[in-house]
Amino acid sequence: MWRKSVMNFRGFIRSFVENKGLLWIFVIGISGWSTVSILVLLKTRYETDSTTIGVSTAYSRWINTFPSIGICLTKSRAFNEFKAMMREYFQEDFAFSFTRMIYEYAFLNPNNIFTKEPTKNTSYPYNFNILDIRRKMFPTNCTECFKEIYFRGELVTDCEEIFKFHVTEMGYCFLANNLLDYDSIEEMPLRYSSLDNNRSLRLYMRSSVMYKYEMYVNSPEDLPFFNSLTYTISTDPTTYAFNVEEIHNHEGVIDEPISQRKCKFPSESSIEGFPYSFSACMSIIRSEFEMKTCDCSLFNPKDRST
Ligand SMILES: *[C@@H]1O[C@H](CO)[C@@H](O)[C@H](O)[C@H]1NC(C)=O
Ligand SMILES: *[C@@H]1O[C@H](CO)[C@@H](O)[C@H](O)[C@H]1NC(C)=O
Ligand SMILES: *[C@@H]1O[C@H](CO)[C@@H](O)[C@H](O)[C@H]1NC(C)=O
């Protein structure tokens, strides 16, 4: 009975001068003044929109859910390294142009398209399956990507408690606080209250020549999709700050017809086990469209863990 949206405006990015070599540090901070901005926002809503009642302005104690954080793998320019890895896996030396093509396909997503005609090389006995290549060569265990994680200033020893692996239409991603993994926001690991002074998530990433990381910040029901705002994670330690606005609907709202309220709740999904959201809907429609027109798609909504 709730909907949540994340305002990622007002993000300020501060790069520290200090560069810690291989460590990629960035912090997602939610600063205290964001609460004040939310109150102001609610007040404005209350004054301009007769259907919104800003009762939350009276809360002196509250618990809020951190947004969903997605860390997705994206391509770098490691064609030679990829060639070497292909050699190791298949015990065979492939032509550079061929491995490059496989590399490009492995990182294919709606924002990262490869328009060249596939090179046909009949001298290879393999029937190259891009999903297989991804499974063999890219990490699916968060320990391979996350070096250290701190939430509210405390070290999280097991990254799997927070980041769950999923395949989205943007490729291989580790998602935190996403409704794909939890039945309700109350069960999510990243929550903070009025009593927490340190409302930050700090991530130290492991660097790889094979891929780079891209960060997505969205509501817990949303998935990284082609139209999401992304934040490229560089080697410079960077801080991002976000305002979080959480909207609680009255329980009775779900009894209103969908045509009347003009939106759906995450539980009202057309695909079983998939929380409904605009982004999930877009990804599913894209996948269906691709299957219809080309009989292939890298994203299969029914199989999100391979
Ligand atoms: C096909 O692969 C072989 C073996 O690596 C290579 O010598 C040949 O140039 C490739 N052909 C094309 C068209 O890429
Ligand atoms: C991920 O790797 C860690 C450390 O190597 C291991 O303990 C854990 O079981 C792995 N998780 C999965 C899901 O394979
Ligand atoms: C929050 O905790 C992190 C990690 O311990 C620390 O680096 C950071 O300075 C803390 N932030 C505040 C505002 O205390």
Ligand 2 neighbourhood includes 141 CB (under 6 angstroms): yes
From 34, 202, 203, the mutation candidate for ligand 3 (largest count of ligand atoms within 8 A of CB) is 202
Q: How far is CA 5 from CA 8, 222, 294, in A?
A: 9, 9, 35
For residue 200, give the ligand 3 atom closest to its CA: 1
pLDDT score of 52:
39
Q: Is the per-residue pLDDT at 85 higher than 80?
A: yes
Q: Residue-wise over 117-138: b if at least 16 C-beta within 10 A, else e?
A: eeeeeeeeeeebeeeebbeebb
Q: What count of other Cβ atoms lies within 10 Å of the Cβ of residue 300?
A: 14
Question: What is this structure's pTM?
Answer: 0.79
For the chain, give the mean pLDDT: 80
State pLDDT tens for residues 36-69. 555 556 565 555 444 434 344 456 777 888 999 9
Which residue's CA is the nearest one to ligand 1's atom 13?
A: 121
73 within 8 A of 121, measured Cβ to Cβ: no
How far apart are the CA of 217 and the centre of ligand 1, in A? 43
Q: Residue-wise over 27-65: b if at least 16 C-beta within 10 A, else e?
A: ebbbeeebbeebeeebeebeeeeeeeebeeeeeeeeebb
Least confident of 146-160, 202-216, 256-270, 285-299: 256-270
**Maximum mean pLDDT: which of 59-68, 89-98, 184-193:** 184-193
Show me where the domains of the chain are located: 9-40, 63-233
Q: What count of other Cβ atoms lies within 10 Å of the Cβ of residue 13?
A: 11
